[in-house]
Amino acid sequence: MLLWLGGCATVDFDYPKEPSTYVADTSDTYLAGLVDDLVAAHPGQSAFYMQSDGVEALATRVLLALRAERTIDVQYYLIKNDPIGYVFIESLLNAADRGVRVRVLLDDVFTKDYDAGLAVLDDHPDIEIRIFNPVARGGSRFWNGLTDFSRVNRRMHNKTFTVDNRFTIVGGRNIASEYFAANDETNFGDLDVLAYGPIVDDVSRMFDSYWNDELAVSIDALIEPPEDPEMVMAQLRATIIESREALSDTRYAEVLTAAVFEMVSVQPEEFDWAPYELAFDAPEKGAGVELDAEDSILTPMRDAVATAEESLLILSPYFVPRKAGLEFFRKLRERGIEVRVVTNSLASNNHAIVHSGYAPVRKKLLDMGVKLYEVRPDALPTGVERAGGAGTEANLHLKVFIVDRRLFFLGSFNFDPRSAYINTELGVIIDSPKLAGWGVDEIDAVLAKRTYELRLNDQYQLRWYTREDGEWVKYEKEPETTAWLRFKVGLMRMLPIKGQL
């Protein structure tokens, strides 16, 4: 016990840091020249361009970073040190080398093993790295997190990318190969929206509230700076170049280059102008503060769903409704609202323990008339096939709900207790029949061949239906799973942890 306690450390939340804010007036930049006249012609609205193709989504980030002249603000749950992570970091580094101010706010849950790289990036005169709600370094990181679990359990799940305060990207993607159709084993189906207009100021103000919050800690407060930062930076740049060269001869590099040119040619009329609401949790949620209604993402989300007159379509990789959630769906059904939910099957879920929280409520939901669809592991996300990953498995990761083919929400929010009550989340509610109709039509077109539809038979048993080779096929057990996996999930169902899922 003494050795264990001796390995614990604390985070210095009082470590000095300079507050900073977004640069509002960037009217002299190239990106402002593209959009400012259009924004003036659409008061009270913003322009939105949906990106379901993973390759296109990466190309957009690379292109925006290339066009950046003044500022880049980055907020993510994770950035991996894999080939796509290096593409992303190189784009930020190149921008900083040109004198662009780069602020990176990163959650701490996946930063293990690359503190030194973050520290040397922070040493760049035009890059600043802050870690949100960090685990203490020194001693065992695992035990430090465990001894401060009530705080460390709360994570920043927000995802935004904003350039020159003129364009922003909001959605569900983190920065890693699997989010951009580049993973050799599993790729995530996801969705971002590229936007400009007043929403960019809203995102920038939200970013500043997190950036200047007490929980946003300078990387210098967590680890000692490298003894020879120039050498470490040279090593990092060499690693980035090596990764880029390894990627350059692949099919992925070819389609990524093509996607960059495709994004250059996107025309203004391909964006949809619409009223919107940026919905997000105040950063204090990360400290365990119970938020007032106006500071919680739940309030605008509930208000949007309350307007439903005909239908609600939900897509969420992790779907764990508890008693209040079941009652919520029951009331919608009593009003005659059609409710459809698309989530991961056990075979496509990358967190089997979350499936253990969802599985027990399936029959209750079906009983009340909610329609359930589970994504097949072979349902390739958009962009994977053209990038050469046709043999990989699929995982649903996008977080969307659509009300009456009119309101379209997308962001980081999963329909589970963790998103509702533990992590900080962000999304945008767009009042656009065009985009909402597009979303419903896209889902309807692939439900039969990319999901399993769940039904109850006369013996009150679950059955899974899907189309294979043009024919309907019925499964009597969780499709494409082993007995061992089903047994493990059955054991997990007994654990008293559903509020953490």
Catalytic, out of 148, 201, 303, 404:
404
Nearest in space to 155 (alpha carbons), one of 398, 417, 418:
418
Does the annotation mark 42 as catalytic? no
Q: Which residues of 5-28 are buried (b: 16+ CB within 10 A; e: fewer)?
A: eeebbebeeeeebeeeebeeebee
Chain position carrying tokens 């969802």: 358
- Torsion, Cα 140 144 149 154, to 10 degrees, reads -90
Does the annotation mark 82 as catalytic? no
Catalytic, out of 213, 220, 397, 416:
397
Catalytic, out of 107, 115, 159, 192:
159
Helix axes 54-67, 251-264, angle to 10 degrees: 60
Tokens of 317: 């990789």
Q: What sign results for the dihedral spanned by CA atoms 245, 250, 254, 255?
A: negative
**For residue 309, which amino acid is it?**
E
Does the annotation mark 159 as catalytic? yes
Catalytic, out of 190, 213, 355, 399:
399
Catalytic, out of 108, 157, 213, 220:
157
**Cα distance between residue 90 and residue 93, in whole Å:** 5
| Residue 386 exposure: Cα atoms within 13 Å on the Cβ side | 14
Judge contact between 103 and 73, C-beta under 8 A. Answer: yes
Could you count the other beta carbons within 10 Å of the beta carbon of residue 327?
11
Does the annotation mark 164 as catalytic? yes
Does the annotation mark 404 as catalytic? yes
Residues 492, 496, 499: CA angle, nearest 5 degrees: 105
Q: What sign results for the dihedral spanned by CA atoms 179, 125, 426, 135?
A: positive
Residues annotated catalytic, as ranges: 157, 159, 164, 397, 399, 404
